[in-house]
Amino acid sequence: MTHLIDINCDMGESYGAYIIGNDEKIMPLVSSTNIACGFHGGDPVVMEQTIRLALAHGVRIGAHPGYPDLAGFGRRRITMKSAELKAAVKYQVSALSGMARSLGGKVEYVKPHGALYNTSSEDENECRVVAEAIVEIDPNLHFMGLANSLMQGIAKEHGLNFIAEGFADRRYEPNGQLMSRAKPGAVIMEADVAMEQVLQMVLKGTVTTSDGTELPLRPDSICIHGDNPSAEHILQSLKSEFKAHKITMGR
């Protein structure tokens, strides 16, 4: 039996003189890219470069909007009024979509970044605001979010196709949420450990949580973070292991 799985990576997060990740080496190893839209990382030049890179490698493009928190890399929750948050998401997705169109490409999905992602997976109001923003930009866009979270139901409520996401390089809590980065071991740096977690998701449809519990988890797409120093090594290991297990990367 052959398995098909999408591999996505957060990219385009460099800005100005600050280099984050290694997009040129990582892009050929993934099938989807979540491109930062300038609020947590990225700038107009980097956004354009990353789109061009994705198009050159035939990689699906997603918008990666976050809270307006460049100093904190979008990993701090910011309390915003609903109208303010919706406008911020629409602004970011619109910017990336317009730039992609100008280069002959298109944005196909939206994946919130960092703290906005985590909050949207637990807070119904916040998630609805993000979903409304996506619909108002383009109801044909897909919504990528945490598998088995309330994001899936709210996406369906708004008529959006949902891309259920799992993580190669993050550990899970027993409730299915991602372990806080503040906790030791929350980010998986070892390629063999990340690979084992991915194979478990794809082949068994489960993930082992921080207390040893196995939870059902069958994602449509699996994320490796571009700012993880081990990202390229993890992706190279997956590429090799996928062949052995008859797993095809794609969407």
pLDDT at residue 70, as a whole number: 95
Provide the residue ranges of all domains of the chain, joining segments of one domain with +.
3-249
Per-residue pLDDT of 14-49, as tens digits, reads: 999 999 999 999 999 999 999 999 999 999 999 999
Per-residue pLDDT of 116-169, as tens digits, reads: 999 999 999 999 999 999 999 999 999 999 999 999 999 999 999 999 999 999
The residues near 244 (Cβ < 8 Å, ≥ 6 apart) are none
pLDDT at residue 251, as a whole number: 85
The pair of structure tokens assigned to 37 is: 């839209």
Could you count the other beta carbons within 10 Å of the beta carbon of residue 81? Answer: 9
The pair of structure tokens assigned to 176 is: 């299915």
Question: Given a cut of 80, is residue 1 above it in pLDDT?
Answer: no
Question: Given a cut of 90, is residue 75 above it in pLDDT?
Answer: yes
Mean pLDDT of the chain: 96
Arithmetic mean of pLDDT, 224-242: 93
- Residue 93: phi and psi, rounded to 5, are -65, -40
Question: Given a cut of 80, is residue 11 above it in pLDDT?
Answer: yes
Question: Given a cut of 90, is residue 99 above it in pLDDT?
Answer: yes
Burial of 11 (0-12, 13-18, 19+ CB in 10 A): buried
pLDDT at residue 84, as a whole number: 98
Question: Given a cut of 80, is residue 4 above it in pLDDT?
Answer: yes
pLDDT at residue 2, as a whole number: 82
Per-residue pLDDT of 162-188, as tens digits, reads: 999 999 999 999 999 999 999 999 999
* Buried/exposed code over 141-171 (b: 16+ C-beta within 10 A; e: otherwise): bbbbbbbbbbbbebbeebebebbbbbbbbbb
Are 2 and 246 within 8 A, CB to CB? yes
- CA–CA separation, 19 vs 247, rounded Å? 32
pLDDT at residue 98, as a whole number: 98
Which CATH code for domain 3-249? 3.20.20.370
Arithmetic mean of pLDDT, 65-76: 96
Are 187 and 228 within 8 A, CB to CB? yes
The residues near 134 (Cβ < 8 Å, ≥ 6 apart) are 89, 93, 110, 141, 143, 158, 160
* Residue 200 three-state SS: helix
Question: Given a cut of 90, is residue 240 above it in pLDDT?
Answer: no
